[in-house]
């Protein structure tokens, strides 16, 4: 096992068909306006959690993905692929010093990995 510590699930992305309608619904649900609001991403920060809305099918996101925050994305990718996971989306920068990747486990579940700088 590596020293790439898991810091918990703090980010969940939801693919949506209608960004404007979903933004309205999630703002009502969460009781706050989004901190990030663009045509390709709407993000809410609530109680230490980040809830993101993305266009359905964008960048391969077709179902909800929970992102495990890790201290070393590359090390954790190496560790989980050695244990049998398959890389679905390789590590990439998504802005603000944040890197993400997704893997598929042995049963087809998509797991997100996220590292903040």
User: Can you give the pTM of this predicted structure?
Assistant: 0.81
- Domains assigned to the chain: 6-116 (3.10.180.10)
Segment 49-108, tens digit of pLDDT: 999 999 987 777 788 899 999 999 999 999 999 999 999 999 999 988 999 999 999 888
Task: Identify the band that residue 111 occupies on the pLDDT scale cut at 50, 70 and 90.
Answer: very high
Segment 8-50, tens digit of pLDDT: 999 999 999 999 999 999 999 999 999 999 999 999 999 999 9
56-91 as b/e: b if 16+ CB within 10 A:
eeeeebeeebebbbbeebeebbebbeeeebeeebee
* CA neighbor of 110 nearest in space, from 73, 70, 66, 68: 66
């Amino acid at each position: 096992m590596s020293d790439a510590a898991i810091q918990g699930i703090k980010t969940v992305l939801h693919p949506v068909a209608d960004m404007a309608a979903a933004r309205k619904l999630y703002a009502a649900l969460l009781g706050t306006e989004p901190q990030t609001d663009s045509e390709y991403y709407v993000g809410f920060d609530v109680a230490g959690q980040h809830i993101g809305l993305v266009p359905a099918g964008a960048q391969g996101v077709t179902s909800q993905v929970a992102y495990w925050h890790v201290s070393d994305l590359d090390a954790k990718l190496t560790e989980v692929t050695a244990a049998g996971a398959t890389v679905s989306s390789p590590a990439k920068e998504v802005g603000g010093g944040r890197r993400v990747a997704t893997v598929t486990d042995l049963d087809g579940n998509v797991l997100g990995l996220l590292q903040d700088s």
